[in-house]
Amino acid sequence: MSNHMRLLEMYPGFRAKLFALEAQTAKYRSSGLKVGDLPIATIKVVVNVVYKIESQNVSDAQIRSQIAALNKDFRATNPDRSKTPAPFKGLVTDPRISFVLDRITRTKTTRASFTDDNGVKKTSTGGIAPVDTKKFLNLWVCALGGGLLGYAQFPGGPKSTDGVVLHYRAFGTSGTAQSPYDKGRSATHEIGHYLNLRHIWGDTPDCSGSDNVADTPNAAGPNFGKPKFPSVTCNNGPNGDMFVNYMDYVDDAAMFMFTTQQVARMRATLDGPRRSLW
Ligand SMILES: [Zn+2]
């Protein structure tokens, strides 16, 4: 969110584009479409590996493990969705989005780690520029400091920084991926943002914020680790927070689902500012 706020300050048109997308999303939602009838949206992915030491230079196999994980989570075929608490099960929805790896770039850097300032996306700051962000989802894999697992750019922002950055320790399901972030779900979460999803608690430290999604319960703040059901906040009992949602902050092994209305938001984005991706 700090990266997002900085971009909103730097690019005055970004805020207006997000407002326009919100209006388009509302229209899309009220159009009576059935998410089950939507065509599969296939997104081509470029993975930009930026490494200082060889152990950060993640393997092709690890990159493929990340793409495979995305193809389960964004088609609701992840086997662990069966662990979704019963009251939320009916809301588990297939976004009908798939990912294909187009190419991998590898860049050696002198920087020990990056922050959320988009430095990894430019040669002059030790990173590498993206490949055509209108056509490709660019992922950068690098060392991130400050406990950051990843960050994403919302739709409508500058092209030169568009995409998702992931810590090499929270990428894919093999190699350098480290428990509890070894099921590829940092990428699932960040691509959710890239497709205009907000955090499940609405990014306020109380009950006043909203994720602009009607079928996720209002929640006070993030959940961490592997919470026990139910986690009640904001008078949302008996079922409590939907902490099993990919847009919460729980461990990879505790998140399993997107809801119908979250899928509608992502698909409105794919029919709007991100239409050229597929
Ligand atoms: Zn997030």
Q: How far is the CA of 199 from the centre of ligand 1 (A)?
A: 6
CB 230 within 8 A of CB 244: no
- Rounded Cα distance, 123 and 119, in Å: 8
The tens digit of pLDDT for each residue in 177-191 reads 999 999 999 999 999
Residues assigned a catalytic role: 190
pTM of the model: 0.98
Average pLDDT for 20-35: 93
- Rounded Cα distance, 139 and 50, in Å: 11
What percent of the chain is predicted at pLDDT more than 90? 98
- Indicate if the pLDDT at residue 92 is higher than 90: yes
Q: How far is the CA of 208 from the centre of ligand 1 (A)?
A: 18
- Rounded Cα distance, 52 and 103, in Å: 20
The tens digit of pLDDT for each residue in 184-243 reads 999 999 999 999 999 999 999 999 999 999 999 999 999 999 999 999 999 999 999 999
Average pLDDT, the chain: 97
- Indicate if the pLDDT at residue 32 is higher than 90: no
CB 224 within 8 A of CB 230: no
The tens digit of pLDDT for each residue in 152-174 reads 999 999 999 999 999 999 999 99
Q: How far is the CA of 248 from the centre of ligand 1 (A)?
A: 7
- Indicate if the pLDDT at residue 33 is higher than 90: no
Q: How far is the CA of 116 from the centre of ligand 1 (A)?
A: 12
